[in-house]
């Protein structure tokens, strides 16, 4: 029997000053990530100081939203609905935690191509989830 | 400076309770402290160094030192999740070697069972956590963090659920002899893989127990240890490491034990093949497999084959592990398994494990722990102990 994705109540993210632009962009369904102007490396999760080189010259850039599943687990017994927690690797190279949605969760495999799809949180900004391409 | 040979564990006590709704957390810490001191033949007034982590209630050491009535020269509240108490033994040895204290007390306690704090409950660590906006919305709980590691290991190395199940089978084979163990049934591979799926690919029986309880250790310098009446268990080497997400370059194929392990083995001057008994923190079956690989007991990716067919069962396999039943079957107080790992290693080195699981002529043991979330950020402590 398939495990079709069902919407669930999504805990609102805490919006901190250093990542407020991320959540503003999320309201327009745009996925931002941080890049360092000094070492040119992307990082995740976004912060003001680059974790690769220590520079404070970090900037927001728009990600393509295309990604592949690095790992995925359908969590079946922690709440009223099953949900697929995953790490996805963005085209830009960083790997982020997310949920995979809008599909039969039982069919998900590592390496599958996915694309960003924002979902409203409970009283907070939309959060970046992904759906199979 | 090395800590090799600079300190001995002279007291070890595992609280027998697994459910304590009528006791406070501070009381469980204190009862554990009393037990370890009695084991060592010492009393509270002898303690001049105290070590605890965030399971200590209130203001941690401040609350517990006051509650216990300690008069200290040294305090350390290093927090590396469930591995903290393994790291505390190392830090106690360092403090003793540096002359900062003579008799160190380490305590742990919690009421996770009475308070229903299991591995499928969202962790609430409060505001200001830097990573929480980018993880909490996605339903992060303890079990799915470890499940993501297991899923990746299966993908990269072909590890199977049946191989992981062997880890529970070994733990349960040992737990049948432990009258205090929460689970005393002996499980088969089929029992594990047929138990309900919690978070793919981890089943209910891939998970540890949720218990109330506590434990404590006493560490002192060898000159004092020799005057006490207990068999000598000496710290031979230790390592610690923390692994996070490396700024988004996530690699779930290894843990921080890949760093803490070699540091400890180098200090001890021994190899994994020299180890007679291994306490390996078993929050989940996958936790054990990852640490065995990362410590070098087998090649990376070959952990599934290594743990299969009873290889971790005392008297049967090549590497007897968690002979008390571990966190998988015996006890997991405060959802933190590092303390009980050290305690069972001490029992083995003293020859005081249950006769059915006692390793013959056990001279060298490792106590290894991963605390925090293995799939997100975690601390690892490796401790090598010897009977001398």
* pLDDT tens per residue across span A75-108: 999 889 999 999 999 999 999 999 999 999 999 9
Q: Determine the Cα–Cα distance for residues B306 and B313; give it in Å rounded to an integer.
A: 12
The mean per-residue pLDDT over the stretch A30-53 comes to: 98
Q: Which residue of B lies nearest to A98 if distances are taken between CA atoms?
A: B138
Q: Does B126 touch chain A (CB under 8 A)?
A: no
- Find residues 135-174 of chain B whose CB sits inside 8 Å of chain A: 135-141, 143-144, 147-152, 155
Q: Does B250 touch chain A (CB under 8 A)?
A: yes
Q: Determine the Cα–Cα distance for residues A55 and B187; give it in Å rounded to an integer.
A: 53
Test the A interface: residue of B123, B139, B196 with most A CBs within 10 Å: B139
- The alpha carbon of B250 is separated from its chain's Cα centroid by a whole number of angstroms, namely 25
> What residues does B365 pair with on adjacent strands?
B277, B385
Q: Determine the Cα–Cα distance for residues A93 and A71; give it in Å rounded to an integer.
A: 15
Cβ partners under 8 Å of residue A26, min gap 6:
A118, A125, A126, A127, A128
ipTM score for this prediction = 0.98
Q: Which two tokens stand for residue B40?
A: 């060592």
Task: Measure Cα distances from B298 to B236, B257, B295, B302 in Å.
Answer: 22, 13, 8, 6
The confidence score (pLDDT) of residue B345 equals 98
Q: Does A45 touch chain B (CB under 8 A)?
A: yes
pLDDT in tens, B208-266: 999 999 999 999 999 999 999 899 999 999 999 999 999 999 999 999 999 999 999 99
**B8-116+207-387 has CATH 3.40.47.10 classification:** yes
Residue A5 lies inside a defined structural domain of this protein: no
Question: To the nearest whole number, what is the mean pLDDT of chain A?
Answer: 97
Contact B137 A93 (CB under 8 A): no
Rounded to two decimals, the pTM is 0.98
- B81-106 burial: b if 16+ Cβ within 10 Å, else e: bbbbbbbbbbbbbbbbbeebbbbbbb
Q: Does B196 touch chain A (CB under 8 A)?
A: yes
| Contacting residues of B for A112, CB less than 8 Å apart | none
| Contacting residues of B for A45, CB less than 8 Å apart | 130-131, 133-135, 245, 248
| Contacting residues of B for A76, CB less than 8 Å apart | 196-200
Q: Which two tokens stand for residue B374?
A: 């293995």
| Cα dihedral across residues B138, B142, B144, B145: positive or negative | positive
Residue A11 lies inside a defined structural domain of this protein: no
Residue A75 lies inside a defined structural domain of this protein: yes
Q: Which domain holds residue A22?
A: 17-132
Per the structure, the count of domains in chain A is 1
- Find residues 58-77 of chain A whose CB sits inside 8 Å of chain B: 70-77
Question: To the nearest whole number, what is the mean pLDDT of chain B?
Answer: 97
B20, B28 Cβ separation under 8 angstroms: yes
| Contacting residues of A for B210, CB less than 8 Å apart | none
Q: Does A97 touch chain B (CB under 8 A)?
A: yes
Cβ partners under 8 Å of residue B344, min gap 6:
B279, B322, B323, B324, B326, B353
Q: Which residue of B lies nearest to A43 if distances are taken between CA atoms?
A: B247
Q: Which residue of A lies nearest to B204 if distances are taken between CA atoms?
A: A77
Contact B151 A73 (CB under 8 A): yes
The confidence score (pLDDT) of residue B122 equals 79
> What residues does B233 pair with on adjacent strands?
B9, B387
The confidence score (pLDDT) of residue B355 equals 98
Q: Determine the Cα–Cα distance for residues B92 and B60; give it in Å rounded to an integer.
A: 17
Between chain A and chain B, the number of residue pairs with CB atoms below 8 A apart is: 139
Task: Measure Cα distances from B72 to A131, B31, B47, B96 in Å.
Answer: 57, 19, 7, 13
Question: Which of A23, A42, A71 is opposite residue B248, by nearest beta carbon?
Answer: A42
Residue B313 distance to chain A (closest CA, Å) = 29
Question: Domains of chain B: which residue ranges?
Answer: 8-116+207-387
Q: Which residue of B lies nearest to A12 if distances are taken between CA atoms?
A: B137
Cβ partners under 8 Å of residue B4, min gap 6:
B235, B236, B237, B267, B268, B269
Residue A3 lies inside a defined structural domain of this protein: no
- A100-133 burial: b if 16+ Cβ within 10 Å, else e: bbebebeebebebebebbbbebeebbbbbbbebe
Q: Does B198 touch chain A (CB under 8 A)?
A: yes
Question: Which of A11, A23, A94 is opposite residue B248, by nearest beta carbon?
Answer: A94
Residue A10 lies inside a defined structural domain of this protein: no
Cβ partners under 8 Å of residue A67, min gap 6:
A88, A89, A90, A91, A113, A114, A115, A116, A130
Cβ partners under 8 Å of residue A64, min gap 6:
A90, A91, A92
Please tell me whether residue B97 adopts helix, strand or coil conformation.
Answer: helix
Residue A32 lies inside a defined structural domain of this protein: yes
Phi, psi dihedral angles at A129 (to 5 degrees): -115, 175
Q: Determine the Cα–Cα distance for residues B342 and B336; give it in Å rounded to an integer.
A: 12
Contact B127 A14 (CB under 8 A): yes
The confidence score (pLDDT) of residue B229 equals 87
Q: Determine the Cα–Cα distance for residues B189 and B181; give it in Å rounded to an integer.
A: 20
pLDDT tens, per residue, chain B with 388 residues: 899 999 999 999 999 999 999 999 999 999 999 999 999 999 999 999 999 999 999 999 999 999 999 999 999 999 999 999 999 999 999 999 999 999 999 999 999 999 988 888 877 667 899 999 999 999 999 999 999 999 999 999 999 999 999 999 999 999 999 999 999 999 999 999 999 999 999 999 999 999 999 999 999 999 999 999 899 999 999 999 999 999 999 999 999 999 999 999 999 999 999 999 999 999 999 999 999 999 999 999 999 999 999 999 999 999 999 999 999 999 999 999 999 999 999 999 999 999 999 999 999 999 999 999 999 999 999 999 999 8
Q: Across the beta sheet with A58-62, what order do the strands follow?
A: A42-43, A32-36, A58-62
| Contacting residues of B for A75, CB less than 8 Å apart | 120, 139, 141, 143-144, 147, 198-200
The confidence score (pLDDT) of residue B386 equals 98
Q: Determine the Cα–Cα distance for residues B381 and B295; give it in Å rounded to an integer.
A: 11
Q: Which two tokens stand for residue B207?
A: 């998970």
| Contacting residues of B for A78, CB less than 8 Å apart | 120-122, 139, 141, 143-144, 198-199
DSSP codes joined into one string, A85-112: EEEEEETTS-EEEEEE-SSBGGG--TT-
Please tell me whether residue B178 adopts helix, strand or coil conformation.
Answer: coil
Q: Determine the Cα–Cα distance for residues B324 and B314; give it in Å rounded to an integer.
A: 11
Contact B155 A52 (CB under 8 A): no
The single-letter DSSP state of residue B384 is E
B344, B322 Cβ separation under 8 angstroms: yes
Question: Which of A12, A19, A76 is opposite residue B199, by nearest beta carbon?
Answer: A76
């Amino acid at each position: 029997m398939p495990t079709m994705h069902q919407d669930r109540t999504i805990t609102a993210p805490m919006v901190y000053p250093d990542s407020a632009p991320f959540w503003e962009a999320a309201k327009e369904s745009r996925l931002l990530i941080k890049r360092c102007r000094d070492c040119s490396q992307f990082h995740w999760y976004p912060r003001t100081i680059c974790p690769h080189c220590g520079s404070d010259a970090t900037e927001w850039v728009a990600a393509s939203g295309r990604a592949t599943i690095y790992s995925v687990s359908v969590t079946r017994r922690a709440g009223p609905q099953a949900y697929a927690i995953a790490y996805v690797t963005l085209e830009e190279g960083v790997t982020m935690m997310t949920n995979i949605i809008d599909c039969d969760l039982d069919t998900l495999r590592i390496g599958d191509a996915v694309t960003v799809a924002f979902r409203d949180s409970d009283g907070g900004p939309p959060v970046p989830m992904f759906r199979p391409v | 400076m090395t800590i090799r040979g600079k300190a001995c564990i002279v007291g070890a006590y595992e609280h027998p309770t697994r459910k304590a709704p009528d006791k406070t957390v501070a009381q469980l810490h204190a009862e554990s402290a009393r037990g370890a001191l009695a084991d060592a033949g010492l009393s509270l007034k002898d303690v001049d160094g105290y070590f605890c982590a965030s399971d200590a209630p209130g203001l941690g050491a401040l609350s517990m030192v006051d509650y216990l009535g300690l008069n200290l020269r040294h305090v350390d509240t290093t927090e590396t999740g469930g591995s903290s108490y393994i790291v505390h033994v190392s830090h106690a040895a360092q403090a003793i070697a540096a002359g900062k204290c003579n008799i160190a007390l380490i305590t742990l306690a919690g009421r996770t069972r009475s308070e229903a704090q299991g591995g499928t409950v969202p962790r609430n660590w409060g505001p200001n956590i830097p990573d929480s906006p980018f993880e909490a919305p996605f339903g992060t709980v303890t079990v799915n963090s470890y499940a993501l590691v297991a899923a990746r290991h299966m993908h990269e190395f072909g590890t199977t659920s049946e191989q992981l199940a062997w880890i529970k089978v070994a733990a349960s084979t040992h737990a049948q002899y432990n009258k205090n163990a929460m689970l005393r049934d002996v499980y088969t591979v089929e029992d594990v893989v047929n138990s309900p799926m919690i978070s793919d690919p981890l089943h209910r029986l891939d998970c540890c127990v949720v218990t109330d309880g506590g434990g404590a250790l006493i560490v002192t310098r060898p000159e004092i240890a020799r005057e006490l009446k207990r068999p000598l268990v000496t710290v031979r080497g230790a390592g610690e490491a923390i692994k996070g997400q490396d700024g988004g370059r996530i690699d779930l194929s290894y843990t921080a034990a890949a760093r803490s392990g070699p540091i400890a083995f180098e200090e001890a001057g021994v190899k994994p093949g020299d180890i007679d008994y291994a306490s390996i923190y078993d929050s989940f079956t996958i936790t054990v497999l990852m640490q065995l690989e990362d410590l070098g007991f087998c090649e990376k990716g070959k952990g599934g084959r290594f743990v299969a067919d009873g290889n971790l069962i005392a008297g049967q396999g090549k590497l007897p592990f968690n002979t008390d039943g571990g966190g998988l079957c015996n006890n997991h107080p405060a959802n933190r398994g590092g303390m009980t790992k050290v305690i069972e290693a001490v029992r083995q080195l003293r020859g005081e494990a249950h006769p059915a699981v006692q390793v013959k002529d056990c001279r060298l043991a490792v106590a290894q722990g991963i605390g925090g979330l293995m799939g997100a950020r975690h601390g690892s402590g490796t401790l090598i102990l010897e009977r001398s």
